[in-house]
Amino acid sequence: MAKTGNPHGISGYKRNKCRCEVCLAAYEAYNTARRKNPEKSFTIDPEPLIRFITKLESPVPAATQQAFARWRRNGVDVFVADRHCVRRGAHPSEVYGSEWFELEAVNAG
């Protein structure tokens, strides 16, 4: 049987750069499945993290500035916030204060 057209789903999204509804939904499901704790994931206020990063990096790279804009729109995921803090040599509680531990307690309960 001969192939007709491009495949849709995660393969179509990644290989053929297809952005139809089927491919976008497959990519979203793929990313959700890759998340460490998809059922526990939630967002937090990005401003303390943004202030922390801009204090450390004098010229903020364009990609980081784009992330700031996205975080301000949607909030920052707790895993992303943790990764950015650790990457810069700080524990998230140094950036968020005691709120960091309260957030985790709310999430665990």
pTM of the predicted structure, to 2 decimals: 0.60
Q: What is the residue-averaged pLDDT of the chain?
A: 83
Structure confidence at residue 24 (pLDDT): 87
Max CA-CA distance within the chain?
62
pLDDT reading at 25 higher than 60 = yes
- Cα of 104 vs its chain's centroid, Å: 17
The answer to whether the beta carbons of residues 13 and 27 sit under 8 Å apart is yes
Stretch 4-20: mean pLDDT: 84
